[in-house]
Amino acid sequence: MVLYVCTGNTCRSIMAQAVHEWTFGLGTALSAGLAAHRGEPANPKAVWALSQKEIVPHTRTSRPVAEALLAQAETVFGMTEQHAAVLRQRFPAQAAKVQTLGSLAGLGDIADPYGGGCEVYETALAQIMACVAAMVVRA
């Protein structure tokens, strides 16, 4: 199980979970947010960007990150170095599992598309897809 973490769990991490499950199968990933409120809907532009690649997110509501989620994950990916640092600080027992998603494909942080236009969501999704593709190469 892989856990993807961003800030609000309505854009990047939900897109990452959807791409991961599209690639590796349902039930292989989870997502959460450091500042998420349980049950917030996925951002419509994130869902739209996924639909452009014919990917359907099976998780469409947010959840806050919790120790139990990190404990069941083999790997935890923060969308930015700051996300990864906060995860390591809040959950030191799980720190060895935490890395940035961008590190898989030699990218930096996956920028937050929240508030941007559709093209910003497409860019974030393209970066996420490149990172998940790098997982396929490593598998």
Catalytic residues: 6, 12, 112
Could you tell me the strand order of the sheet in which 29-33 lies? 29-33, 2-6, 75-78, 98-100
Six-digit token string for 89: 């600080």
